[in-house]
């Protein structure tokens, strides 16, 4: 079997398996999987910048929150329908990523990380400052009537799962196509050796900026979908924790692998869920497991599979 056929079978098989799980999962895990797929879409967006371009961003919560609040505020205060509000959320993530990229990409390394973190914190503080609109830490609930898209009630668990599945499938396939296209190959070249990429005639600033916009668009779409599907927008999603979480998910699953973001999100979600059922000090258990994985699988779960067995894995 050719490498292309294996790649198609593996990624298509995951999408088909997630659809099949809709019909067999118990209620608790059914709801968990819907949430995991939305968060994994966010991690897919982060992986474009970190895993494939080699840019360590600590500001992606800004894009996720932009999508979430762009959608939520449009419904709550402007009276828009969910379709238009969803489009505003996606556009907000893309526009803010583009603007931040123009500034942050003038720096490199640790300076880039700090700049993105500071802008994300500024966004978080802005949400708290404009509490009359955003309800600050408390956040706000999006009414069930405002979550009916094209006649489909997305507050219904079954419809919510299928919508989350559609979002994740689109993000996964877009990521797979992008990293195998010339644009994606250019990003990998930048990650591996930017100086040589410049010497070959590539405009690395433009390519990195484009990667930021693509990443912000996917992250914004995930944030907007989270608000629409789960009916809530809160400042906690703009906090630094939600910039660090996608980094952990991508590192655990395998940075620079298409399936890594999903595997890492799934693993981390259930690691915390199962640990919290054993002890109140569940983060201690989670921390020990994460340290062990870092020591014995430094390239992440899918990264180790690629290194040891599946060299064709994108």
Q: Which pLDDT score is estimated for 85?
A: 94
Total domain count for the chain?
1
The per-residue b/e assignment along 267-282, b for 16 or more CB within 10 angstroms, e otherwise, is: bbbebeeebeeeeeeb
The region of weakest confidence among 7-21, 85-99, 252-266, 287-301 is 287-301
Whether residue 246 lies inside any domain: the answer is no
Whether residue 218 lies inside any domain: the answer is yes
Whether residue 311 lies inside any domain: the answer is no
Going by C-alpha positions, the residue among 70, 121, 74, 129 that lies closest to residue 100 is 121
What distance in Å separates the CA atoms of residue 83 and residue 160, rounded to the nearest whole number?
15
- pLDDT bin (cut points 50, 70, 90) of residue 72 is very high
Whether residue 286 lies inside any domain: the answer is no
Q: Which pLDDT score is estimated for 163?
A: 96
The residue segments making up the domain with residue 105 are 3-240
Whether residue 14 lies inside any domain: the answer is yes
Mean pLDDT of all residues in 283-299 = 85
Whether residue 159 lies inside any domain: the answer is yes
Q: Which pLDDT score is estimated for 1?
A: 66
Mean pLDDT of all residues in 92-107 = 95
For 212-225, the pLDDT digits (tens) are: 999 999 999 999 99
Whether residue 77 lies inside any domain: the answer is yes
Whether residue 89 lies inside any domain: the answer is yes
């Amino acid at each position: 079997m050719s490498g292309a056929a294996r790649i198609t079978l593996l990624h298509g098989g995951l999408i088909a398996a997630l659809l099949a799980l809709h019909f067999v999962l118990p209620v608790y895990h059914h709801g968990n999987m819907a949430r995991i797929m939305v968060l994994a879409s966010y991690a897919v967006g982060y992986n474009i910048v970190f895993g494939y371009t080699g840019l360590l961003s600590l500001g992606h919560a800004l894009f996720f929150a932009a999508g979430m609040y762009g959608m939520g505020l449009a419904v709550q205060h402007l009276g828009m329908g969910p379709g238009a509000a969803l489009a505003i959320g996606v556009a907000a993530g893309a526009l803010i990523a583009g603007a931040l990229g123009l500034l942050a990409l003038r720096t490199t390394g640790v300076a880039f990380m700090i700049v993105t973190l500071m802008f994300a914190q500024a966004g978080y503080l802005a949400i708290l400052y404009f509490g009359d609109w955003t309800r600050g830490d408390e956040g706000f609930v999006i009414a069930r009537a405002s979550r009916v898209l094209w006649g489909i009630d997305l507050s219904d668990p079954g419809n919510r799962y299928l919508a989350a599945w559609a979002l994740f499938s689109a993000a996964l396939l877009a990521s797979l196509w992008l990293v195998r296209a010339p644009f994606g190959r250019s990003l990998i070249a930048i990650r591996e050796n930017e100086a040589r990429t410049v010497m070959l005639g590539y405009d690395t600033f433009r390519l990195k900026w484009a990667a930021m916009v693509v990443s912000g668009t996917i992250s914004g779409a995930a944030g907007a979908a989270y608000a629409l599907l789960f009916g809530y927008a809160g400042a906690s999603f703009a906090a630094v924790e939600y910039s660090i979480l996608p980094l952990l998910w991508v590192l655990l699953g395998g940075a620079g692998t298409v399936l890594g973001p999903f595997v890492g999100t799934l693993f981390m979600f259930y690691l915390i869920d199962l640990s919290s059922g054993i002890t109140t000090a569940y983060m201690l258990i989670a921390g020990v497991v994460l340290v062990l994985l870092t020591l014995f699988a430094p390239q992440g779960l899918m990264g180790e599979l690629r290194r040891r067995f599946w060299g064709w894995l994108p």
